[in-house]
Chains A and B, each alone.
Chain A
Amino acid sequence: MVGDMNDHAPALEIRDLTRSFGSVRALDGAGLCARRGEVTALLGPNGAGKTTTISCATGLLKPDSGSVEVLGEDPWQAGADLRARVGVMIQDGGLASGATALQLLHYGASLYAYPLEADEVAEHLGITDFGGTLVRRLSGGQRQRLALALAIIGRPELVFLDEPTAGMDPGIRRTVRDLIRALARTGTAVVLTTHLMDDVEGLADQVVVISGGRTVAAGTVDEVIAAHRAPDATLTVTARARGVAPDAAEALSADLRATARLHGVDLELSTGGAADLESVLLDLIDEPDAGGLAAATARTREAR
């Protein structure tokens, strides 16, 4: 099946899922829908049931009850054809420790009929720099990049990413975020679990919150926030003024304080430098080419 960029049909549908481990009920009616061309963030505290949900969706666990449909099929009965259409990134794990990073990436590519070019994926994600290093000697962030590369190497239609940016430096993190956005833009359904809220706000089209094995909220970030805000709660308004000349900062601050007094609220002001820490770091280090993979894969496609 080949998706369409504008096709937002469900790629993953989970309804009323239950799963127990002995006397512990890990899932108690969880549900979610992840659509093609969208990033769906699965959120919740540790032990909420996220991993069990993903395990059921990837065919690793058989649910006690409820239904799971992955690209229209039951993942528990999945054969190689369905597994080839689904990419899975397991956080800091799943990598054969005795192989080198590049050996493992080429091995991963050889499991698919029409994979991305392994060397180009490696170049894009900065894996080439440590390609000859044994997996057991890689840092956490390097392993994350390799696991991400293995998850997307088969050009999946649905991809599960577990903490995709955990342990990464700012440059690679930005590259990975761009990659996730590009995956969604080209029609892939992306399901990510993360504890980093800026990843969620920056990437997620839909958010599903699981707690105690149940889905307690679902929708866009704004919808979830709006639906769960207490009616009488106070709000915080945050603004950032960029490009303020140093000699104008004092006058601007005075004006803002006056406006705040007019509305009867306290105002906290701070004056920062011309750049934030992340931008400075990115300027100081060599960041991988964010557009490299797109160009490389486009070349690959033309070659085929």
Chain B
Amino acid sequence: MSTVPTTSPTRRPASPAPALQRILAHARLEARVLLTNGEQLMVAILMPALVLIALRFVPVGRLDGVSSIDTAVAATAATALISTSFTSQAIQTGFDRRGGVLRWIATTPLGRDGYLAGKILATLCVHLLQVVVLALIALALGWHPGVGGLFAALPIWLVGTVAFGAIGLLVAGTLRTEAVLAVSNVLFVLFVALGGVAIPTSSYPRLLRGLVDLLPSGALGELLRSVLAGGSFPAGSLVVLILWAVAGCFAVARWFRWTSA
């Protein structure tokens, strides 16, 4: 071997690719890993689809005077958002942390900020795929969406993604990997089944209702039900979800550890 032109006078200086290119490259890798992993696909697509079909036909979580498919779609949208933003991200980031991936990435031009930006972008891409697949299933089950409701759901979707993404990163960046796996799966089930997603908080006993309303899942569920299934807009739930998003981001900035040591 004669030359490896890493610093020879004729070569160009080592320099980073433009920031956007780095972030897009990382988002592509993350999305590809998510979408080619069977377990991740099950969490992102299959489980929300099952929730949609179950709530369409099983008399659970319905509201008086509202079509069952509308309440099912609202609950499914919240389930899909939580599964991808929270559960999938927590598990994948937890394993990346244990495997030293975060440590290595912090030494590359991508850096920690680029890693997080790429991860958020990848999550949004997976969300888009979820929305398309689940909307097609919902349409087949008799869903007739209103354009106004869909537009109103967009900012809720973004705030919910930030809130649950931050909680997912907090779990991934503070617990041991084995605990991340257990905690993220248990919390997912609790959020969906008991946290105001599958069942409207109005159906809970009065004592529990106040508590569930303060959960991010309860706030997300109520907000999506109001815009996708009709009903008065719960401004209090929006405040709760925004507070979870802000507090989650602060907590991640304060306590997230990039190494598992």
Interface residues of A (CB under 8 A from B): 1-5, 36, 58-60, 79-81, 83-86, 88, 90, 93-99, 103-104, 107-108, 110-114, 150, 152, 154-157, 159, 178-179, 181-183, 185-188, 290-294, 297-298, 301, 304
Interface CB pairs A-B, < 8 A, 8: A60-B107, A80-B109, A110-B22, A113-B12, A155-B12, A186-B8, A294-B4, A297-B5
Q: How far is the CA of A178 from the CA of B100 in the complex (A)?
A: 27
Residue in contact with A84 in the complex, picked from B9, B109, B258, CB distance below 8 Å: B109
Evaluate contact between B12 and A304: CB separation under 8 angstroms: yes
What is B's interface to A at a CB cutoff of 8 Å? 1-19, 21-22, 25-26, 28-29, 32-33, 36-37, 92, 95-96, 99-101, 103-111, 114, 258-259
- Check B103–A186 contact: CB distance below 8 A: no
Question: B1 contacts A179, CB within 8 Å?
Answer: yes
Q: Sorted from nearest, which 8 A-B pairs have the closest CB atoms? A: A94-B104, A93-B100, A187-B7, A98-B33, A3-B7, A84-B16, A110-B25, A88-B107
Among B1, B111, B114, B258, max chain A CB count under 10 A is at: B1
Given contacts A83-B109, A304-B12, contact A96 B33 (CB under 8 A): yes
Q: A84-B14, A113-B16, A114-B12 are in contact. Are A155 and B7 (CB under 8 A)?
A: yes
User: Chain B contacts of A182 at CB under 8 A?
Assistant: 1-4
Q: In the complex, what distance in Å separates the CA atom of A60 from the CA atom of B101?
A: 13
**A residues in contact with B37, CB < 8 Å:** 98
CB atoms of A90 and B16 under 8 A apart = no
The distance in angstroms between the C-alpha atoms of A155 and B12, with both chains bound, is: 9
Total number of residue pairs linking A and B with CB closer than 8 Å: 177
Contact A93 B9 (CB under 8 A): no
* Secondary structure call for the B interface: loop
Residues in B with CB closer than 8 Å to A154 are 14, 108-109
Closest to A159 in B: B6
Residues of chain B with a CB closer than 8 A to A292's CB: 1
Expressed in whole angstroms, the Cα–Cα distance for A103 and B114 within the complex equals 18
Q: Which residues of B contact A156 (CB under 8 A)?
A: 6, 14
Complex: chain A residue closest to B110, CB-CB: A111
- Bound CA–CA A292/B1 (angstroms): 7
